[in-house]
Amino acid sequence: MYIPSRVCWRHLRQILRQSCLRNLSSTTQDVPHVCIVGSGPAGFYTAQQILKGHPGAKVDIVEKLPVPFGLVRFGVAPDHPEVKNVINTFTTTARNERCTFMGNVHVGKDVSIEELQRAYTAVVLAYGADDDRTLAIKGEDNPNVISARSFVGWFNGLPQDKGLKVDLDAENVVILGQGNVALDVARILLTPISILKKTDISQHALEALSRSRVRKVYLVGRRGPLQVAFTIKELREMIKLPDCRPVIHKEDVSCLKQVIADLPRPRKRLTDLLYKTALEPSDTDTRLWAQAAKEWELRFKLTPAEVMEREGKVTGVKFYINQLQGDDLVNKVAIATSETEEIECGLVFRSIGYKSIPIDPNLPFDERKGIILNQKGRVQDRPGLYCSGWVSTGPVGVILNTMTEGFETGKRILKDIEEGVVSSEGKPGSQAIREKLQSAGKQIVSFSDWDKIDLEEIQRGTPIGKPREKIVDIEEMLQVAHS
């Protein structure tokens, strides 16, 4: 080979060095390959951090459904399309050449955590909260006592909830709980169909809601107005709901006037809005509310005692009346008295919180809190195993909180890789897992397969003026994905 000058020697050395580095980073020993279980916000934000923080790291996102995005697709209300914009960021992550989406793979059934740990440098459990808390009261098993989680899944097209039977032939509804999910349920029940039909709400829900007789929704909490868990944006939406009147009793909030100034900021604004809605509404609002056909009402200091039934039909909920105890203005405990009160209704929603479940019997799990036992995302006594999102923190907080937590978990994994706490040595990566799944006949859905489902849904929605019509059947999703 003819090498004419010293500059060329330097150039050659540089090329050789780069080529050696490339070879080094392409051996499985040196390239971290992380598996993330769950494709909700926690999964995607953790993946984003790992891909950004390590130039060679690869990430596989394993999801039990054929479609990605977790509660952003199946939880966030259809009339909140702006919240779903995070999907654009997740899509950018999924399209990164070092990221692979593997949908329709149920960890704990199709493949175990142990198998994943044998294959990957690190495994992150970001599988959210798939169960809900129950009340353990008489009458709770009546078919018209419905978990808010299932109802949300039903109107959002979650395959497992498509067949939910909701009898909307009732004027009064009681929602047990005063968080944002309770408000989402109330809003969907009370929003005019003309608005809902322009959203991506599932067609089966739209049809049932268009026949609904619901006129009044009670939102019932165990504690007082200073303890409500919903936030101001959601409350404001409820107050501005067309053709609907808020009922906030003056006697519940009038005493708050003197404490509002001392409250921490988000609670202060929220309490001020509750107070003003009850005691100082504008003339326009007063006029509009007087003409409204529907209403929602906040009820406080009531603990559900029993769901009342007659001939199998729900007739109401009996409550114990509570007293609040505790010196702190906000952190009060509800103590039930022997006094009771009944609210008549034909339909009850239980909205008292989501709950995670262990997907493996050997997972260190806190059954009471419904979370994987962990120290800042590192699963207790399981090196190389991490958790992120609701399964790690409990089912609280919005996407922004999940994002912060996902980024932190991603950074900790990279630190552990850098410090040699976890290693890629002897970890073959996804190949072994794919072989196992394929030999079991499992149809894995890739991100480009999801693109086909996405396109099909958008095309189905367009002629009926909806952003998309979700496919609610898993077999049909798979057919479209592999068409």
The residue (of 324 and 474) whose beta carbon lies closer to ligand FAD is 474
Residue 67 zone, left/alpha/beta (φ > 0; ψ -120 to 50; rest): beta
The residue (of 152 and 298) whose beta carbon lies closer to ligand FAD is 152
Cβ neighbourhood burial of 203 (10 Å; 0-12, 13-18, 19+): middle
The secondary structure of 156-198 as a DSSP string is TT-GGGTT-------SEEEEE--SHHHHHHHHHHHS-HHHHTT
The residue (of 59 and 359) whose beta carbon lies closer to ligand FAD is 359
- What 3-state class would DSSP assign to 246? strand
The residue (of 75 and 221) whose beta carbon lies closer to ligand FAD is 75
The secondary structure of 100-158 as a DSSP string is EEEBS--BTTTB-HHHHHHHSSEEEE-----EE-----BTTTSTTEEEHHHHHHHHTT-
Query: What's the closest the beta carbon of residue 134 comes to ligand FAD, in angstroms?
Result: 16
The residue (of 187 and 466) whose beta carbon lies closer to ligand FAD is 187
The residue (of 184 and 456) whose beta carbon lies closer to ligand FAD is 184
Number of residue whose CB is nearest ligand FAD = 40
Query: What's the closest the beta carbon of residue 244 comes to ligand FAD, in angstroms?
Result: 20
Query: What's the closest the beta carbon of residue 187 comes to ligand FAD, in angstroms?
Result: 11
Query: What's the closest the beta carbon of residue 34 comes to ligand FAD, in angstroms?
Result: 15
- Looking at residue 332, what DSSP letter applies? -
Residue 380 zone, left/alpha/beta (φ > 0; ψ -120 to 50; rest): beta
Query: What's the closest the beta carbon of residue 377 comes to ligand FAD, in angstroms?
Result: 12
Helices (H), 223-363: 232-239, 250-253, 265-279, 283-291
The residue (of 423 and 443) whose beta carbon lies closer to ligand FAD is 443
Angstrom CA distances, 394 to 363, 387, 400, 414, 463, stand at 16, 11, 15, 24, 40
Query: What's the closest the beta carbon of residue 62 comes to ligand FAD, in angstroms?
Result: 6
Query: What's the closest the beta carbon of residue 113 comes to ligand FAD, in angstroms?
Result: 9
The residue (of 117 and 303) whose beta carbon lies closer to ligand FAD is 117
Name the helix (H) or strand (E) containing 303. Answer: strand 302-310
The residue (of 255 and 400) whose beta carbon lies closer to ligand FAD is 400
Strands 354-355 and 58-62: unpaired
The residue (of 322 and 409) whose beta carbon lies closer to ligand FAD is 409
Query: What's the closest the beta carbon of residue 107 comes to ligand FAD, in angstroms?
Result: 4
The residue (of 42 and 228) whose beta carbon lies closer to ligand FAD is 42
Contact 112, 361 (CB under 8 A): no
Query: What's the closest the beta carbon of residue 70 comes to ligand FAD, in angstroms?
Result: 3
Query: What's the closest the beta carbon of residue 66 comes to ligand FAD, in angstroms?
Result: 10
Query: What's the closest the beta carbon of residue 42 comes to ligand FAD, in angstroms?
Result: 3
CA distance 338 to 321: 7
Name the helix (H) or strand (E) containing 37. Answer: strand 33-37
Query: Which residues here bind ligand FAD, judged by CB under 6 A?
Result: 37-43, 62-65, 70-71, 75-76, 80, 83, 106-108, 126-128, 130, 152, 181, 184, 354, 359, 389-390, 397-399, 402
Tokens encoding 312: 């199998």
Tokens encoding 470: 């979700």
CA 356 to chain centre: 11
Q: CA angle, corner 329, sides to 324 and 334, nearest 5? A: 20
Angstrom CA distances, 349 to 45, 304, 408, 440, stand at 32, 12, 35, 40
Angstrom CA distances, 89 to 47, 85, 93, 321, stand at 11, 8, 6, 47
CA distance 277 to 279: 6
